[in-house]
Amino acid sequence: MAPRHSNGDDQRTKAGKLRGGQSDSLVTARAFGVADTLAVCVAVLTLFVYADVIRFDFVGYDDRIYVTENTHIRNGLSWDNAAWAATAFYDSNWFPLTLISHMADVELYGLRPGMHHMNNILFHTANAVLLFYFFRRLLASYWMSAFIAVVFALHPVHVESVAWVSERKDVLSTFFWIIAMLSYVRYAARPKAATYLLFTICFVLALMAKPMPVTLPFVLLLLDYWPLCRVGGISPEPRLDCYEARPLRALIVEKVPLFVISVLSAAITLIAQKSGNSVVSLQRLPFGLRLENAAISYVKYIFNTVFPHKLSILYLLPPEIPPIQAIAAAAIVILISVAAVWNAVKLPYLFTGWFWFLGTLVPVIGLVQVGGQAMADRYNYMPSVGLFIIAAVGAPALLKGYRRSGVIIAVAAALLISFYTVSTKRQLQYWSNSITLFKRAIDVTTGNKVAYYNLGIVYAEMGRYDDAIECYENALRISPTDCDTIHNLGLALMNKGLPEEAAARFKRAIKLNPSYVKSYVAYGNLLLKQNRLDEAMQQYQQAIEMSPELPGALNGVGVVMALTGNPDGALRMFDKALSINPDFAEAVNNKKGALALIRKRGSKQ
pLDDT above 70: percentage of residues in the chain? 93
The pLDDT of residue 15: 36
Considering only 18-27, 193-202, 319-328, 483-492, which range has the smallest mean pLDDT?
A: 18-27
Question: Is 35 among the domain residues?
Answer: no
Would you say the pTM of this structure is higher than 0.85? yes
- Do both 399 and 446 map to the same domain? no
CA atoms of 456 and 448, how far apart (whole Å): 13
The pLDDT of residue 1: 35
The pLDDT of residue 275: 83
Q: Contact 68/111 with Cβ under 8 angstroms?
A: yes
Question: Is 161 among the domain residues?
Answer: yes
- Do both 399 and 451 map to the same domain? no
Question: Is 10 among the domain residues?
Answer: no
Confidence class of residue 7 from pLDDT cuts 50, 70 and 90? Answer: very low
Instruction: For residue 593, give the CATH number of its domain.
Output: 1.25.40.10
- Do both 475 and 413 map to the same domain? no
Question: Is 486 among the domain residues?
Answer: yes
- Do both 51 and 186 map to the same domain? yes
CA atoms of 142 and 139, how far apart (whole Å): 8
Does residue 240 carry a pLDDT above 90?
no
Q: Which residues contact 521 (CB under 8 A, 6 or more apart)?
A: 539, 540, 543, 550, 552, 553, 556
- Do both 418 and 561 map to the same domain? no
pLDDT one-digit tens code per residue, 469-479? 999 999 999 99
Confidence class of residue 372 from pLDDT cuts 50, 70 and 90? Answer: confident
Q: Which residues contact 390 (CB under 8 A, 6 or more apart)?
A: 349, 350, 353, 354
pLDDT one-digit tens code per residue, 476-506? 999 999 999 999 999 999 999 999 999 999 9
Q: Where are the alpha helices (DSSP H) in 479-516?
A: 483-495, 499-512
Enclosing domain of residue 449: 434-604
Question: Is 6 among the domain residues?
Answer: no
Domain stops at, among 429, 451, 481: 429
The pLDDT of residue 238: 61
Q: What's the CA dihedral at 93, 97, 102, 107 to 10 degrees? A: 140
Q: Contact 445/71 with Cβ under 8 angstroms?
A: no
The pLDDT of residue 241: 59
The DSSP secondary structure of 206-233, one letter per residue, reads HHHH-SGGGGHHHHHHHHHHTTS--BTT
pLDDT one-digit tens code per residue, 127-150? 999 999 999 999 988 999 999 999
Q: 3-class DSSP state for residue 375?
A: strand
Confidence class of residue 245 from pLDDT cuts 50, 70 and 90? Answer: confident
Specify the number of domains making up the chain: 2
Does residue 181 carry a pLDDT above 90?
yes
Question: Is 41 among the domain residues?
Answer: no
- Do both 207 and 283 map to the same domain? yes
Domain stops at, among 389, 404, 429: 429
Nearest to 100 by CA among 118, 75, 82, 116: 82
- Do both 289 and 393 map to the same domain? yes
Identify the helix (H) or strand (E) that includes residue 373.
strand 373-375
The pLDDT of residue 605: 56
- Do both 491 and 568 map to the same domain? yes
- Do both 415 and 446 map to the same domain? no
- Do both 79 and 115 map to the same domain? yes
Question: Is 500 among the domain residues?
Answer: yes
Question: Is 36 among the domain residues?
Answer: no
- Do both 99 and 165 map to the same domain? yes
The pLDDT of residue 403: 82
pLDDT one-digit tens code per residue, 394-437? 999 888 878 888 899 999 999 999 999 999 999 999 999 999 99
Q: Which residues contact 94 (CB under 8 A, 6 or more apart)?
A: 88, 211, 268, 269, 272
The pLDDT of residue 368: 85
Q: Report cis status (omega within 30 of 0) of the bond before 96.
A: no
Domain stops at, among 402, 429, 456: 429
- Do both 378 and 439 map to the same domain? no
